[in-house]
């Protein structure tokens, strides 16, 4: 597609339920990133994919969080047993990643606003 697509755009879930967030990157972008944006907290790095592998998972807040990417394209971020502190906007971005020269800037999706009640 023309841009990075994220779904759903909004999700309200009950505490303790599992949620799955989806990101469809720009076609041909090999690098995919998940960030979390909380009010007043800036962007918190969660995980990064180069192709289907994740060289850096250091940002995942706990073992309730997991992510996968298949076919070098779509990625899903899963949060198990959601807690109220998981409420945030989850942003996905993709990039033409040149391993030799670093990334060339991201294209962000519109995000998924997750509210845990």
Q: How far is the CB of 45 from other proteins (least distance, A)?
A: 6
| Strands 75-79 vs 42-50: parallel, antiparallel or unpaired | unpaired
The total of other beta-carbon atoms located within 10 Å of residue 47's CB is: 22
Closer of 76 and 108 to other proteins (Cβ): 108
28 part of the interface to other proteins, by CB under 8 A: no
Question: Hey, which residues does 56 pair with through a beta bridge?
Answer: 48
The total of other beta-carbon atoms located within 10 Å of residue 97's CB is: 20
* The one segment of 18-26, 60-68, 79-87, 97-105 that binds other proteins by CB under 8 A: 97-105
Q: Which residue ranges make up the site for other proteins (CB under 8 A)? A: 31, 33, 35, 40-43, 45, 48, 50, 55-56, 91, 93, 97, 99, 101-111
């Amino acid at each position: 597609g023309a841009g990075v697509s994220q779904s759903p755009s909004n999700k309200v879930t009950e505490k303790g339920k599992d949620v799955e967030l989806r990101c469809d990157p720009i076609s041909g972008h090999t690098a995919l990133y998940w960030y979390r944006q909380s009010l007043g907290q800036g962007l918190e790095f969660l995980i990064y994919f180069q192709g289907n592998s994740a060289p850096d998972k250091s940002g995942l807040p706990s073992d309730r969080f997991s992510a996968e990417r298949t076919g070098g394209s779509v990625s899903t971020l899963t949060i198990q047993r959601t807690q109220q502190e998981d409420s945030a906007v989850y942003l996905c971005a993709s990039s033409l990643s040149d391993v030799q020269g670093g990334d060339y800037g991201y294209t962000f999706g519109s995000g998924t606003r997750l509210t845990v009640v």
